[in-house]
A and B are shown apart, each in its own frame.
Chain A
Amino acid sequence: MSGGRRVDLAAAAVLLFSMAGTVATLDRIDHMRRGTAAQDAIYVRSPKLLRRMSLGYTGLVADIYWTRAVQYFGEQHHAGSSDFHLLAPLLEITTELDPRILPAYEFGSNFLGPTPPNGAGQPQSALALMRYGIAHNPEQWRLYYNLGFLYYTEFKDYAGAASAFAQGAQVPGTNPFMPILAARMAQHAGEFDTARMLWSTTLQSTKDASIQENAIEHLLALQVDEAVTRLEQVVEKYRELAGHLPASMGDLERAGFIRGTQADPTGRPYKLMPDGRIEVNDPQSFPFITKGLPPGAEPPQPRPPAKKDSK
């Protein structure tokens, strides 16, 4: 073998070995530093300073900060942590650098509002973010929709929600449901129907698969909550008439209160408990349900998304 060929072979072997080594070392570094990208980012808290440091490339820097916000939320959420203290500053920096970055408002308010571990439990920060978004993008009906949604879900502020939906209904190209939602909020009527309309609007107006999946899970949970409420009312009526609780679903059917097997959206029959409560067979199948759970049980947590975090 010539000297040149020997050098070639040795260099190629060293190159491959070092390449494999860099990948392995990088994985270890990543494992150690998970989440520190966001923390590093927070060393510069002033959006004004960042704007100057970005030399005019604010759009790119905002995109980077938005990605960091998503990763930070995703990693904390995935780890089951309830500490999301960096989320609000990351979103604030993102939106101040690029006030027209709409996903940061839409997703951001949904990351910030809900209580941990589903969100940061900072509904006031979510509210401030949405108001800032609307002030800079008054032509975006979805922001009014998100604001109304936030008022409804996090604050139970029907007047605030009605006002937000009504303003959004005035925006050209708005969703046809907006005036209806405004009216429903103003009347504060039909909790289940209103919630169903909100989640249906979300489902229809997004192209994001994770948000669609989340909306479907909420709609299924609403279906279960509504069925359990109705069945428990039926059980109460039976008790009033018969003077005792029904022993089984068959008793309710024979008394003409229900027809056929009462099943949840997965096809599993609802269970009638000895104390007259109705329970679902498998609560884990329905994240977000609030009824049909065993006594003292916490509502099941939504499944962590595979790659991306959902609304």
Chain B
Amino acid sequence: MNSGGRNARIGSIAFNTFREAVRDRVLYNLIAFALLLSGAAILVGEISIDIERLVVVNLGLTAVSLFGVVIAIFIGIGLVSKEIDKRTLYTVLSRPVRRWEFVVGKFFGLTGTLVVNTFLMAVGVFLALLYVAHRFQKMDAWILVALYFIVLQFLIVCSLALFFSSFSTPLMSAVFSFALFVIGSLAEDLRGFARIMHGMEGWIATAVAYLVPNFSALNAIGPVAHGDAIPGRLILYNTVYALLYSTMTISGAVLIFQRRNLK
């Protein structure tokens, strides 16, 4: 099988995953997001002094992140099991589609859905910002970096949800993914704990601290809300880290899915 055909198959699975997500009314969350943000933008001007920009950026970016994580987990965990339940997986795999292509295609499809979703939410954040501040400032450009980091977060969450769904039930996959998201958000503290532990416990803590995803460094909401710049090297390292971590998790999912008995 040539690489052009392989890419076309992966692209086709990714596009179908995206189309299915849209058909499942996933993008309806945008309505809730728009209501939340416009409500906050209008209210904050009435009830607080001088923190309108801060509230809109904090609330907007937090909502983008949380909505996206919830979508990534709840769609990601069903990607494999739904196909098995509906028996559509057999139809797909009976064609010249290999299992790993199926997993990778699903990952790209889900990631694509979240990128589109994030883009639309980002437009909402900037509109709300314009409403409360009446004009954009130079420091608002850093919000784009925070949004980019959120997309990197989604890459990791999608890969984790897909990884767990390759061997576990949807419910347990959701629990595992969400737990890892929470633990990963405290990853820097976890490595801090590991640094002050000794002996075998120290080794185990260090191994766990490196194995769980590091979402702390990908959260730049606080700094950008205060107009702080994000160093270029951090953008580079975070990009490399998110790509490597999701590649690692997807490779694990491929290894498991290759062995999974689908009968």
Contact = CB atoms under 8 A, between A and B. Distances in A.
B196 A307 contact: yes
A94 to B, nearest CB: 13
B169 interface: no
A67 interface: yes
Nearest to A28: B237
Contacts of B233: 28, 32
Given A15-B251, A22-B244, A68-B189, A43 B234 contact: no
Query: A-side binding surface: helix, strand, loop or mixed?
Result: helix
A309 to B, nearest CB: 9
A32 B219 CA distance: 14
A44 B51 CA distance: 13
Given A22-B210, A25-B241, A30 B223 contact: no
Name, among A22, A64, A307, the residue most crowded by chain B CB atoms within 10 Å (CB to CB): A22
A68 B238 CA distance: 22
A64 to B, nearest CB: 5
A247 interface: no
B248 A22 contact: yes
A304 interface: no
A266 B248 CA distance: 55
Interface stretch (A2-10, A105-113, A228-236, A269-277): A2-10
Contacts of B254: 7, 11
B258 interface: yes
Contacts of B258: 4, 7-8, 11
A14 B247 CA distance: 7
B241 A26 contact: yes
Interface of B is mostly: helix
A37 B216 contact: yes
A19 B248 contact: yes
A23 B244 CA distance: 10
Given A7-B254, A40-B222, A29 B196 contact: no
Given A18-B245, A25-B241, A25-B244, A32 B222 contact: no
Interface string B241-255: 100110110011011
B231 interface: yes
A18 B248 contact: yes
A21 interface: yes
Best-buried of A8, A11, A33, A307 by chain B (most CB within 10 Å)? A11
Nearest to B226: A43
B59 to A, nearest CB: 13
Contacts of A12: 251, 255
A124 B95 CA distance: 75
A42 to B, nearest CB: 9
A40 B237 contact: no
B259 to A, nearest CB: 8
B226 A8 contact: no
A25 B188 CA distance: 14
Contact of A29 (B193, B217, B252): B217
B241 A22 contact: yes
B141 interface: no
Contacts of B240: 21, 25
A18 B244 contact: yes
A307 B98 contact: no
Contact of B214 (A11, A29, A67): A29
Nearest to A7: B100
Contacts of A8: 255, 258
A239 interface: no
Contact of B238 (A23, A29, A307): A29
B212 to A, nearest CB: 10
A194 interface: no
B195 interface: yes
Contacts of A43: 222-223, 225-226
Contact of B252 (A15, A22, A23, A30): A15
B195 A26 contact: no
The 4 A-B residue pairs with the shortest CB-CB distance, nearest first, are: A18-B248, A15-B251, A43-B222, A21-B244
Given A14-B247, A32-B234, 15 more contacts: A7-B100, A11-B100, A11-B255, A15-B252, A15-B255, A18-B248, A21-B240, A22-B244, A25-B240, A30-B188, A30-B191, A32-B233, A33-B217, A37-B189, A68-B189
Interface of B: 98-100, 186, 188-189, 191-193, 195-196, 198, 210, 214, 216-217, 219, 222-223, 225-226, 231, 233-234, 237-238, 240-241, 244-245, 247-248, 251-252, 254-255, 258
17 contacts: A4-B258, A15-B252, A18-B245, A18-B247, A22-B241, A25-B237, A25-B240, A26-B214, A29-B217, A29-B238, A32-B234, A40-B219, A43-B226, A64-B189, A67-B193, A68-B192, A71-B192
